[in-house]
Amino acid sequence: MEYMTGGSVREQILNYGALTEQLTKKYVRQIIDGLIYLHKSRFVHRDIKCKFNLYIEQKENMFFV
């Protein structure tokens, strides 16, 4: 697994406060795109949590873990 320098979404919110609307839109779009990809690949992710498996890299891109 790659090292995600941005930490989890939960850590970002605890450290810096609420996400801006623009950043929230970006993250939600990335989550939806990731779920579409998983579903097209015949996988289902049943336990998405910002504390454990949504991580951010340095460039503010989100990853499922």
Coil/strand/helix, residue 10:
helix
Tokens (6 digits) for 60: 């503010």
Measured distance CA(33)–CA(12) in Å, rounded:
21
Amino acid letter at 24?
T
pLDDT at 62 over 90: no
pLDDT at 1 over 60: no
Provide DSSP, 33-59.
HHHHHHHHTT-------TTTTEEE-TT
- pTM, 2 dp: 0.66
Query: Residue 40: pLDDT band by 50, 70, 90 thresholds?
Result: very high
Query: Residue 61: pLDDT band by 50, 70, 90 thresholds?
Result: confident
Measured distance CA(37)–CA(31) in Å, rounded:
10
Q: Which residues are catalytic?
A: 47
